[in-house]
Amino acid sequence: MTDTLLTLSGGLVAVLVLYVLGGRVPGLSPGLRALLAGLLPLLGYFLLIVGRWPGLDVAAIHISVFLAASLVLHVITQFRQRSGGRLHWAPRLLIVFFLGLVVLNGTMLYIATQGLPDPVARLWLSGDGSPVHSGFSGVVPHGQQAAKAVSSELSQAHREARIGWQVDLTGLEGNARAHWIQLRVRDRTGLPVEGIEAQLRLLRPGATQPALTLGLDARAAGVYEGRLALPAGGRWVVEVRLLRDGIQHYHGSQELVAP
């Protein structure tokens, strides 16, 4: 979330600076001036996120905010030229609208990545004062095949119960952006389980596709380790998948919150 606020605020400053500088270029039309002021920071943002895609929602907010800011600047300039320097109430209302849009988008982005702040969640969602977790949407991802996914989850849970593997995951404690993960796997009798593929998947709550997939290396009998680096702050769901011969034998998840 902190990275998003930095890119949004930095991009808005860049839009303003480029628009002002564009006014000093001879022969540059007002429309092209506003278009360049919005597109150049947007291009810089896309170059910045190459290799670490933040999600379609975050990218869409940047697109709308940068282009809307350049449009507002263009409209303000046109109205001021027509009215002799005095700003009409219509562009003022337009400015207020887009500022409200930016605040609304930022608020929705915060809730999507980090959930409601605890005081707000307790006041709004919990009448009895019990803890409320607004960032986790359930064990089944939101998608078109939700009904089938529920049946699949139940069947998987039944298979896991029959196998009886005991899985101990450590390393997710604290609020750092990088974690050294250790996974210990034992069978029903307590013996280490070897020859499996241990995998971590990092997803936003409710997302259907992982933002990151990490394979854990076997370090000892039944011990698998790896370094998990979070691409951004906020709330994440860490899924543990254990496969043997391409068949999943265990699936678990744990919530993680990063600054």
Residue 126 is predicted with a pLDDT of 56
Report yes or no: 12 and 66 within 8 Å, Cβ to Cβ: yes
Residue 150 is predicted with a pLDDT of 44
Please name which of 4, 41, 46, 47 lies closest in space to residue 19, comparing C-alpha atoms: 41
Tokens of 238: 């860490």
Residue 156 is predicted with a pLDDT of 52
Residue 18 is predicted with a pLDDT of 92
Residue 225 is predicted with a pLDDT of 92
List the chain domain ranges: 2-123, 148-258
Residue 36 is predicted with a pLDDT of 92
Residue 154 is predicted with a pLDDT of 47
Q: Which fold has domain 148-258?
A: Immunoglobulin-like (2.60.40)
Report yes or no: 235 and 220 within 8 Å, Cβ to Cβ: no
One pLDDT digit (tens) per residue for the chain, 259 residues: 546 777 888 888 899 899 989 888 888 888 899 899 999 999 999 998 887 777 777 788 888 888 888 888 888 888 777 766 666 677 677 777 877 777 777 777 667 666 667 777 667 665 555 555 555 444 445 444 444 444 455 455 545 555 678 888 888 887 788 889 898 998 888 888 888 899 999 888 777 788 889 899 988 898 999 998 888 877 888 888 888 888 888 888 888 877 7
Coil, helix or strand at residue 228: strand
